[in-house]
Structure 1
Amino acid sequence: MTRVLIADDDGVVRDVVRRYLERDGLDVSTAGDGGEALQLLGSDEIDVAVLDVMMPGPSGMSLCRTLRERSGYTLPVILLTALGEEEDRIAGLEAGADDYLTKPFSPRELVLRVRSVLRRAPAVRSAPDLTIGDLRLSTASRTVTVAGTPVSLTNREFDLLHFFLTHTDTVFAREDLLRLVWRWDFGDLSTVTVHVKRLRAKLGDRHRVQTVWGRGYMWTSAIGGPDATV
């Protein structure tokens, strides 16, 4: 059974979210602080982690960064935050989170977001591997290498790269990418902006993600095109 970790120092939040997730057929582990969450992540078979940004020692943001620093560790992470400013949400995404929700939130929406991140991995694994120059993307292992060197991507970054590589030379607005990659019909468009920025940084000069001003982004098949910026 799919297992979700809920880590939040608010017992009411943990209990309500647990009941909604269990009602949806998911197995749930809970933690009241970052230390307990880290122990569960190290000992349990967790499929997705929902972490409170401001819980005590270590915080959800710190835990997310720690998880992303582990080579090949692509556990989906959803951050819960009481901070609604755009800078705070972007900071969470830059820490490697796949998604975030701002408190107060609908427990049912959280269930939908959990289902969304969980269904991303199987959707791509059956597709063939992709090679463009010295960039290789393996759908079976969900790994990416550049000139034989592994590139650590989150699940969302991997899915975004896979989408670009299978839809080259086509412009997609941020709204389109949010719907086609994230499978959201609504959401903060800065989520897409941050993920494109991170993908470019991780691929370095091997990326071919171009900004088409006023329209969106595309992966160009042309070699040696101008550098793009967000």
Structure 2
Amino acid sequence: MKISLSEDNELLRKSLSFFLQANGFEVDQFSNGKEALDAISEKEYDIILTDINMPGASGLEIANHVRTELLRDTPIIIFTSINVEQTELDAFEIGANEFIPKPVSPQVLLVRIKKLLGANARAVTSV
């Protein structure tokens, strides 16, 4: 299963990527929202993980692009350190499936990914 991971915090991005790869996922990492948008436009991902605040394009812009331009129903999980209810509501309004506040727990993230991907994710992580 293929994951797009967009996060400008290098330590968090690399640690989440390592954890997800150890659990059987293929992860494309992006530190810039524009790079993530370009890749998402060219490739199909099973799930999209994105921070809200990034250079190039925000996580909300990525989610909006996936839903309105690409017309894809790819599951999207947004995480952020912004603790504002309206930001979370905006994320859901645009089409995010999940919203996780930072610091992101890798175990919680994995549970949410499995929930969104269903049986396919369970098969990957049991390999």
- Residue 57 of structure 2 aligns to a residue whose secondary structure is coil
Post-superposition Cα deviations, 1:177-212, rounded to whole Å, max 9, x if no partner, equal: xxxxxxxxxxxxxxxxxxxxxxxxxxxxxxxxxxxx
CA contact (8 A) 1:10 1:32 kept: yes
Contact 2:41 2:70 in 1 (8 A): no
Matches within 5 A, 1:134-213: none
State the shift of 1:44 in Å.
2.5
Structure possessing the higher radius of gyration over alpha carbons: 1
Question: What is the distance in 2 between the residues matched to 1:58 and 1:51?
Answer: 11
8 Å CA contact 1:64–1:77 kept in 2: the answer is: yes
How many residues align? The count is: 120
Question: What is the match of residue 42 of structure 1?
Answer: 41
What residue number does 1:109 align with? Answer: 108
After superposition, what is the alpha-carbon deviation per residue over 1:29-72, rounded to whole angstroms, capped at 9, x for unaligned?
11111111012112223110001100112100111111111364
Q: Please name the residue that 2:24 is paired with.
A: 25
The answer as to whether partners of 2:30 and 2:36 remain within 8 angstroms in 1 is: yes
Q: Contact conserved, 1:20 with 1:111, CA < 8 A, in 2?
A: no
Mapped to 2, the partners of 1:117 and 1:65 lie a distance apart of 18
Tell me the TM-score normalized by structure 2: 0.87
Q: What is the CA deviation profile of residues 143-181 of structure 1, one whole-angstrom value per residue up to 9, with x for unaligned ones?
A: xxxxxxxxxxxxxxxxxxxxxxxxxxxxxxxxxxxxxxx
Q: C-alpha distance in 2, partners of 1:93/1:120?
A: 24
Aligned partners of 1:45, 1:73: CA distance in 2, in Å? 9
Distance 1:22 1:115 in 2: 14
Gaps of at least 5 residues in structure 1 are 122-230
Work out the percentage of aligned pairs sharing the same amino acid.
27
Residue of structure 2 in register with 1:6 after alignment: 5
The structure in which a higher percent of residues are helix is 2
| Cα-Cα RMSD | 1.6
- What does residue 78 of structure 1 align with? 77
**What is the letter of the counterpart of residue 6 of structure 1?**
L
Unaligned runs of 5+ in 2: 121-127
- The answer for the alignment partner of 1:65 in structure 2 is 64
Larger RCO of the pair (alpha carbons < 8 Å, separation 6+) = 2
For residues 210-229 of structure 1, the aligned pairs below 5 Å read: none
Give distance in 1, aligned partners of 2:71 and 2:64: 13
